[in-house]
A and B are shown apart, each in its own frame.
Chain A
Amino acid sequence: MENKISRIFLRELKRAWPLTLALLAAVAGAVLLGLTPPLVLERAVNSLTEGNGIPLSLALLYFGTLALAGIFDSGKAFLLTVLGQKLTRALRSAMCRKLSRLSASWFAGREPGAVASRFVGDVDTVESLFSSGIVSMAVDVCKVLSILAVIFVKSRGLGILMLLVTPLLLWMTRTFQKRMLRSQLQNRAAVSRVSHHVPETIHCIRMVHTLRKERYMADRYDSAIQDSYQAMEKSNFYDSVYSPIVLIISALVVAVMMVCAALGGGMQELFGMSVGTAVAVIAYVGKVFGPLESIGMEIQSVQSAVAGVRRIREFLSEPEEKATDASLTLDALRRSGKPAVEVADVTFSYDGERNVLEDCAFTVTEGESVTLTGRTGAGKSTVFKLLLGLYRPQVGAVRIYGADAALIPPRLRRRLFGYVEQAFHLVPGTVLDQITLWDEGITREKAEEAARLVGLHETICTLEQGYDTPCREGLFSQGQFQLLAIARAVAADPAILLLDEITANLDGDTEQAVLTALERAAARRTVVSISHRLYRRTGGRQIPI
Chain B
Amino acid sequence: MSKRGQPDRLLTYFKAETWPLAVVTVTGLVYNIGLAFGPVLEGKLAQCLLDIMGGTTGVPAMVRLAVLYVAVTSFVQATRYFKRFYVRRFANNVNRSMKRVLYDNLLHTSREELERAGAGNLMTRAISDVDACVEGMRKFTTEVFDTGVALAAYFVLLLVYDWRLALLTGLFPPVAFFLAERMKKPVSRCAAVYKESAGRLNGATLERISGAVTYRVFGLEADRDRAYGECLADYEKKAAAANLWENTLPPLYQVVSMLGAVLILWLGGKNVAGTGWAHWDIAAFTAFLTCFTKLSVKTSKAAKLFNSVQKAQVSWRRVKPLLKEVEEEPELPPAPAAELEVSDLGFAYPGGSEVLKHISFTAKPGQVIGVTGPVACGKSTLGKAFLCELPYTGSIRFGGRELRDMTDAERAAVVGYLSHQPELLSASVKDNVLLGSDGPAAPWLAAACLTEEVAAMPQGEETAVGSGGVRLSGGQQARLALARTLRHKRPLLILDDPFSAVDMTTEGEIMEHLRALAGDSIILLLSHRLDRFSELDGVLWMEQGTVLAGSHETLMETCPAYAGLYNAQKGGDGRGE
Contact = CB atoms under 8 A, between A and B. Distances in A.
B107 A218 contact: yes
A513 B220 CA distance: 28
B343 to A, nearest CB: 23
A494 B538 CA distance: 65
B513 interface: no
B365 to A, nearest CB: 20
A221 interface: yes
A428 B218 CA distance: 15
A92 B239 CA distance: 14
27 contacts: A48-B285, A70-B255, A74-B252, A77-B243, A81-B240, A93-B225, A93-B232, A112-B210, A198-B123, A199-B124, A201-B103, A202-B120, A206-B417, A212-B331, A215-B331, A216-B436, A218-B103, A219-B436, A221-B103, A240-B85, A243-B80, A248-B74, A255-B69, A258-B49, A261-B49, A275-B47, A282-B46
Interface string B395-435: 00000000000001100100111010001111100000001
Nearest to A388: B217
Nearest to B109: A205
A258 B42 CA distance: 10
B111 A410 contact: no
Nearest to B204: A428
Contacts of A195: 124, 127
Interface in A43-78: 44-45, 47-49, 51-54, 56, 58-60, 62-63, 66-67, 70-71, 73-75, 77-78
A491 B221 CA distance: 18
A108 to B, nearest CB: 8
Interface stretch (B7-15, B264-272, B448-456, B528-536): B264-272
A523 B95 CA distance: 68
A27 to B, nearest CB: 14
Contact of B468 (A97, A200, A390): A200
A254 B225 contact: no
A48 B49 contact: no
A74 B243 CA distance: 11
A535 interface: no
A54 B282 CA distance: 12
Contacts of A116: 202, 205-206, 209
Contacts, number: 342
Q: Main secondary structure on chain A at its contact with chain B?
A: helix
B216 interface: yes
B412 A209 contact: yes
A248 B262 contact: no
Interface residues of A, number: 124
Contact of A214 (B107, B212, B221, B423): B107
B111 A212 contact: no
Given A66-B255, A244-B77, A201 B415 contact: no
A236 interface: yes
Interface stretch (B59-67, B157-165, B185-193): B59-67
B535 to A, nearest CB: 27
A261 B46 CA distance: 10
B175 interface: no
Nearest to A222: B100
A89 to B, nearest CB: 5
A307 interface: no
Contacts of A252: 70
A96 interface: yes
Interface stretch (A355-363, A394-402, A412-420): A412-420
Given A200-B426, A438-B220, A262 B62 contact: yes
B321 interface: no
A45 B275 contact: no
Nearest to A108: B213
The 7 closest A-B pairs by CB, nearest first: A54-B269, A410-B219, A244-B77, A59-B265, A255-B66, A216-B436, A251-B73
Interface of B: 38, 42, 45-50, 52-53, 59, 62-63, 65-67, 69-70, 73-74, 77-78, 80-81, 84-85, 88-89, 92, 95-96, 99-100, 103-104, 106-111, 114, 120, 123-124, 127, 201-214, 216-223, 225, 228-229, 232-233, 235-236, 239-240, 243-244, 247-249, 251-252, 254-255, 258-259, 261-266, 268-270, 272-273, 275, 282, 285-286, 289-290, 328, 331-332, 387, 389, 408-409, 412, 415-417, 419, 423-427, 435-436, 467-468, 484, 488
Contacts of B416: 210-211
Contact of B423 (A41, A93, A206): A206
Contact of A258 (B48, B252, B419, B426): B48
A410 B66 CA distance: 79
A205 B111 contact: yes
Contacts of A236: 84-85, 88-89
B50 A49 contact: yes
B282 to A, nearest CB: 6
A60 B262 contact: yes
Contacts of B205: 116, 119-120
A447 to B, nearest CB: 14
